[in-house]
Amino acid sequence: MFYEDPRNHGLAYNPFKAIIAPRPIAWVSSQDTEGVLNLAPYSFFNAMAEFPPTIVFAPNNPRPGGGRKDTLANIEATNQFVVNLCHYDLRDQMNTSSAHVDPEVDEFALSGLTPAPSVNVKPPRVKEALAALECEFMFRVRLPSTNPKAENNAVFGKVVGIHIDDSIIVDGRVKMELYRPLSRLGYMDYSVVDNVFAIDRPDQDLDSYDKTARKHSDKDK
């Protein structure tokens, strides 16, 4: 099949997000200027650079009833946020935190999660998450939108602190089988990363990071 008009794919359900899958989930904690906590998942998310570590995510459609998402409003007001990474065991709490509730509602409390202090930013991280990225807001790019009532946005963040739970570090590497990050597919579907294989690169010797990766994958054979 081939289609150009995103609303005219001819299928029962829009396949766009199903083919760009799996997507990692940025579970973003932020605070308003009064200190009210906010937490919400965003799967239009990824890493864009390593030095400095840079991420992007997309708070897009308006909240029901209008207005921008609390996450975006908080980040633009305070310039700081945390991207928590969600693993399989936290899938229900993550889902609960996506509820469209009023800005005064603290989704940490709503989802039964514990705020843990961050080091370099004011918004707390999710204590139960196995990894978290403390971020400073860089800038927002307003993306085109074909829906006059909806904004599309790409929010860029510079990572200023990285938390990794020691329990998932084995032999100096994050052990994915212990981490088990959750990822978003299309429709209402999710996946979990729990099997891993390595592929050597053709020009691996040019890259010291990849040399380390090869040493490990050789060892694993």
Ligand X SMILES: Cc1cc2nc3c(=O)[nH]c(=O)nc-3n(C[C@H](O)[C@H](O)[C@H](O)COP(=O)(O)O)c2cc1C
Q: Binder to ligand X among 25, 85, 129, 135 (CB under 6 A)?
A: 25
Of residues 28, 63, 62, the one with CA closest to residue 42: 28
Decide if residue 91 touches ligand X (CB under 6 A): no
- At residue 108, φ and ψ (nearest 5 deg) are -65, -50
Q: Binder to ligand X among 37, 55, 56, 58 (CB under 6 A)?
A: 58
Decide if residue 96 touches ligand X (CB under 6 A): no
Decide if residue 98 touches ligand X (CB under 6 A): yes
Cis peptide before 24 (omega within 30 of 0): no
Which residue, 63 or 180, is less far from ligand X as judged by CB? Answer: 63
Cis peptide before 22 (omega within 30 of 0): yes
Which residue, 19 or 199, is less far from ligand X as judged by CB? Answer: 19
Contact criterion met (CB below 8 Å) for 76 and 140: yes
Scanning 5-13, 42-50, 154-162, 205-213 for contacts with ligand X by CB under 6 A, the matching segment is 42-50
Name every residue whose Cβ is closer than 8 Å to that of residue 166 and which is 6 or more positions away in sequence.
none
Q: Binder to ligand X among 78, 95, 191, 204 (CB under 6 A)?
A: 95
Of residues 60, 67, 65, the one with CA closest to residue 142: 60
**List of residues contacting ligand X (CB under 6 A):** 25, 38, 40-44, 58-61, 63, 69-71, 95, 98, 100, 184
